């Protein structure tokens, strides 16, 4: 008879499958709760997320990640010993992937706050891959301005170089910045990362495998540097609804700003806005999800499957 308290293991899948209740129970086995400071930090970051969700899903995940960080540091130590080298501290790199509007940024920000509370990882930096999109002028030159978010819209070489430099322990590494307001790379602005304990790299395509390109020697992809990766998953119909809802909300916030690239959307009626959001979804984000993002799900170390209210209903963890 199967034990409902145990995760499901199947010979065909490389994952252990936890129901929400099974995952949440891990918290009791490894006592942990949010302190007042954690709650303050999360609230300060402006997340609308339910605290029970944080306690039951993200807190155990952050604890597990903290164990992985410790174990990976141990592996680096024995390797350095073996090679007779002086051990150097190597940042632990986490990738967060998934569709537009599935909640990658929210997940990444929560993990950042929670990870920073555990011993050994007080310095957690977060970078989003949109900073590595080509500037609009370059996308236009290549005829792919309507392909933002597709793999070819990114300067993948710069992204890989950025992560490789952080991982190699370089003192200061900087990345370009993307503005959702101007819909373009911000000229002259950089975000600087200084030897973090953990770097979270969040973006649509971060789990893409490297592709061997004839005549090119260095074909590594950013995923080759990950120590752990999370894929945030949900039904397409739910993600589309979250996308449309976010678009409707942006009319009162970002679109209302006269500097916004999409200022013209601020005056759309509800019906017009829903139509426009659905159109963008169907022409850009859905094809990208189907062709490029979803196929990378099976490469993740952990998959968070969400229900229609953003609550995580299942957690799949790759077996060791
Ligand atoms: N765990 C969550 N609980 C409640 N709302 C969420 C959660 N995650 C995301 N959202 C909401 O869903 C929308 C998309 O989330 P976001 O993190 O911006 O997605 P992405 O970075 O994948 O485009 C936003 O409106 C966000 O507030
Ligand atoms: C900027 C994005 C490509 C996401 O980039 P990411 O941070 O995942 O690299 C995406 O949010 C976007 O703007 N897509 C274009 C279509 C749209 O407006 O939804």
Residue 101 lies in a domain: yes
pLDDT, tens digit, 9 for 90 and up, residues 44-54:
666 677 888 99
Q: Would you say residue 3 has pLDDT above 60? A: no
Residue 117 lies in a domain: yes
Greatest extent of the chain over all pairs of C-alpha atoms, in Å: 67
Q: Atom of ligand 2 at shortest distance to CA of 104? A: 8
Q: Would you say residue 100 has pLDDT above 90? A: yes
Residue 50 lies in a domain: no
The bound ligand whose nearest atom lies closest to the alpha carbon of 128 is 2
Residue 234 lies in a domain: yes
101 appears as a binding residue in the annotation: yes
* Structure confidence at residue 27 as a pLDDT band (50, 70, 90): confident
Q: How far is the CA of 100 from the centre of ligand 2 (A)?
A: 6
Residue 298 makes CB contacts below 8 A (sequence gap 6+) with 14
Task: Quote the crossing angle between the two packed helices 59-83 and 104-115, to the nearest 10°.
Answer: 70
Residue 184 lies in a domain: yes
Q: Would you say residue 217 has pLDDT above 80? A: no
Q: How far is the CA of 142 from the centre of ligand 1 (A)?
A: 31
CATH of residue 160 = 3.40.50.300
Mean pLDDT in residue range 19-29 = 89
70 appears as a binding residue in the annotation: no
Residue 278 lies in a domain: yes
277 appears as a binding residue in the annotation: no
Q: d(Cα 21, Cα 103) in Å, to the nearest integer? A: 21
SS3 sequence of the chain: CCCCCCCEECCCCCEEEEEHHHHHHHHHHCCCCCCHHHHHHHHHCCCCCCHHHHHHHHHHHHHHHHHHHHHHHHHHHHHHHHHCCCCCCCCEEEEEEECCCCCHHHHHHHHHHHHCCCCCCCCEEEEEHHHHECCHHHHHHCCCHHHCCCHHHECHHHHHHHHHHHHCCCCCEEEEEEECCCCEEEEEEEEEECCCCEEEEECCCCCCCCCCCCCCCCCCCHHHHCCEEEEEECCHHHHHHHHHHHHHHHCCCHHHCCCCCCHHHHHCCHHHHHHHHHHHHHHHHHHHHHHHHHHHHHHCCEEEEECCCCCEEEEEEECC
Mutate which of 55, 98, 103, 253 for ligand 1? The one with the most ligand atoms within 8 Å of its CB, which is 103
Q: How far is the CA of 156 from the centre of ligand 1 (A)?
A: 25
CA 56 to chain CA centroid, nearest Å: 19
Give the tokens for residue 263. Answer: 């200022």
Structure confidence at residue 1 (pLDDT): 42
For the chain, the average pLDDT equals 91
Give the tokens for residue 19. Answer: 């129901």
The bound ligand whose nearest atom lies closest to the alpha carbon of 185 is 2
CA dihedral 152, 158, 161, 163 (to 10 degrees): -80
Q: d(Cα 56, Cα 225) in Å, to the nearest integer? A: 29
* CB 145 less than 6 A from any atom of ligand 2: no
Mean pLDDT in residue range 17-29 = 90
Q: d(Cα 255, Cα 236) in Å, to the nearest integer? A: 25
Residue 295 lies in a domain: yes
Enumerate the β-bridge partners of residue 190. 176
Query: Considering Cα of 24, then 30, then 34, then 37, what sign does the dihedral take?
Result: negative
319 appears as a binding residue in the annotation: no
Q: How many CB atoms lie within 10 A of CB 21?
A: 10
Q: Atom of ligand 1 at shortest distance to CA of 312? A: 1
Structural contact between residues 226 and 93, judged by C-beta atoms closer than 8 angstroms: yes
- Protein residue with its CA nearest to atom 18 in ligand 2: 280
Count of the separate structural domains present in the chain? 1
Q: d(Cα 112, Cα 276) in Å, to the nearest integer? A: 33
Which of 212-226, 248-262, 273-287 is predicted with the least confidence, judged by mean pLDDT? 212-226
Q: How far is the CA of 100 from the centre of ligand 1 (A)?
A: 9
Residue 107 lies in a domain: yes
Domain range for 212 is: 91-318
pLDDT, tens digit, 9 for 90 and up, residues 295-319:
999 999 999 999 999 999 999 999 8
Q: Atom of ligand 2 at shortest distance to CA of 178? A: 1
């Amino acid at each position: 008879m199967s034990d409902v308290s145990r995760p499901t293991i199947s010979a065909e899948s490389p994952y252990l499958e936890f129901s929400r209740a099974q995952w949440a129970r891990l918290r009791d086995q490894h006592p942990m709760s949010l302190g007042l400071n954690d709650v303050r930090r999360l609230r300060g970051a402006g997340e609308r997320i339910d605290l029970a969700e944080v306690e039951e899903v993200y807190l155990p995940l952050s604890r597990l990640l903290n164990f992985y960080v410790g174990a990976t540091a141990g592996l680096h130590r024995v390797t350095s010993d073996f090679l007779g080298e002086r051990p150097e501290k190597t940042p632990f790199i986490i990738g967060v992937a998934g569709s537009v509007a599935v909640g990658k940024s929210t997940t990444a920000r929560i993990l950042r706050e929670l990870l920073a509370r555990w011993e050994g990882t007080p310095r957690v930096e977060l970078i989003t891959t949109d900073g590595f999109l080509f500037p609009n002028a370059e996308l236009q030159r290549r005829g792919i301005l309507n392909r933002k978010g597709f793999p070819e819209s990114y300067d993948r070489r710069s992204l890989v170089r950025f992560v490789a430099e952080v991982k190699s322990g370089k003192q200061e590494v900087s990345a370009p910045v993307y503005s959702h307001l101007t819909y373009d790379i911000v000229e002259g602005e950089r975000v600087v990362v200084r030897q973090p304990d953990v770097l979270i790299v969040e973006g649509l395509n971060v789990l893409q495998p490297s592709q061997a390109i004839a005549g090119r020697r260095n074909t590594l992809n950013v995923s080759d540097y990950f120590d752990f990766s999370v894929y945030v998953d949900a039904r397409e119909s739910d993600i589309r609804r979250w996308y449309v809802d976010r678009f409707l909300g942006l009319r009162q916030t970002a679109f209302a700003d006269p500097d916004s690239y999409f200022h013209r959307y601020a005056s759309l009626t509800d019906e017009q806005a829903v139509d426009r959001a659905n159109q963008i979804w169907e022409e850009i984000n859905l094809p990208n999800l189907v062709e490029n993002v979803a196929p990378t799900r099976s490469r993740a170390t952990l998959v968070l499957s969400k229900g229609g209210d953003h609550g995580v209903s299942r957690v799949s963890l790759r077996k060791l």
